[in-house]
Amino acid sequence: MRAFIFPGQGSQSVGMGRTLAEASSAARDVFGEVDEALKQKLSVLMAEGPPDDLTLTENAQPAIMANAIATLRASGIDLAAKADFVAGHSLGEYSALCAAGAFDLATTARLLKRRGHAMQAAVPVGEGAMAALLGAGLGLAREVAEAAAQGQVCTVANDNDPGQVVISGDRAAVERALDIAKEKGARRAILLPVSAPFHCPLMQPAAEAMAEALAEASVSSPIVPVYANVTAAPASDPDEIRRLLVEQVTEMVRWRESVAAMFEAGVTQYVELGAKVLGPMVKRIAPDATVISVVTPDDIDALVKAI
């Protein structure tokens, strides 16, 4: 069995999609449709930068999605024939839903633009933070977050793999967690270069904004089951998809559990589209699985031959 997986924020880089667009008319069509949907030359920003503008959450989120969907469409792969499941990390869940036909491309781009803007606006810059705890599992991370909170918000945001968990919340609390994590046995604890504290209760204003946006959006049943971040289980009902995407804004991304659940369901091959970020996590979660990360036209050719 096979799952196609889609990366989240942080996988953007200037130049993304440029070689793909030069090689594939299908990829160019994706970038053009996203530009039109957003009334913005996002494809130029992706190709040329500047980096600071591309890193802005409201630009990075639709850019990462567009690059992943362009990679898929350039391959010409029939997802219904070749995938048993799809899943994505945080914003990547929108990419997965788009790939599976739950959202059309223009709707996905507009939702992610709104999501990125709402998440950035939810907490003033500098008041929130996120940190990666390396060499720490979920249990240890929860102990660290609870000890660091001291009346503020500090919670687990991403359970990425058995040795990498991300916490999020008020800056002072997250900074306290750095020392606490080391005291409790984490190998390293490092602040992440992010502009907002994603996937924690401070994002509630963004969740409310997405509830409004998703209520207006057309959602279809996906052609293959989509593993949801907040349940680590497949979802296919449109109303359930809407609800889970709203919850996702403030809740923990259960990526480790999602990959493990797919592996237990029989998935032995994971295909990452648009980046080489999730692959190493998958191997740490399911060492016996195979991973194919697809970024370049050569990668696409190799994928088509492999499956």
Please give the share of the chain, as a percent, with pLDDT higher than 90: 95
Whether 89 is a known active-site residue: answer: no
For the stretch 1-17, pLDDT in tens is: 999 999 998 889 999 99
Give the chain's length: 307
The Cα–Cα gap between 90 and 278 comes to 12
- Is the model's pLDDT at 303 over the cut of 90? yes
Q: Residue 253 carries which DSSP code?
A: B
Whether 199 is a known active-site residue: answer: yes
First to last CA, the chain: 11
In the chain, residues under CATH classification 3.30.70.250 are 128-194
pLDDT at site 99: 98
Which residues does residue 265 pair with via DSSP β-bridges, in sequence order?
none
pLDDT at site 201: 98
Catalytic residue among 24, 95, 199, 258: 199
pLDDT at site 10: 85
Of 49 and 11, which is predicted with more confidence?
A: 49
In the chain, residues under CATH classification 3.40.366.10 are 2-122+202-306
Identify the CATH number of the domain defined by range 2-122+202-306: 3.40.366.10
Which residues does residue 293 pair with via DSSP β-bridges, in sequence order?
272
pLDDT at site 87: 98
Question: Topology of 128-194 in CATH?
Answer: Alpha-Beta Plaits (3.30.70)
Residue pair 304/292 in contact by the 8 Å Cβ criterion: no
Which helix or strand (DSSP H or E) is residue 23 part of? helix 18-23
Between strands 128-134 and 85-88, the pairing is unpaired
pLDDT at site 193: 85
For the stretch 200-242, pLDDT in tens is: 999 999 999 999 999 999 999 999 999 999 999 999 999 999 9
- Compute the average pLDDT of residues 125-147: 96
Catalytic residue among 24, 43, 90, 168: 90
| pTM across the whole model | 0.96
The Cα–Cα gap between 203 and 121 comes to 9
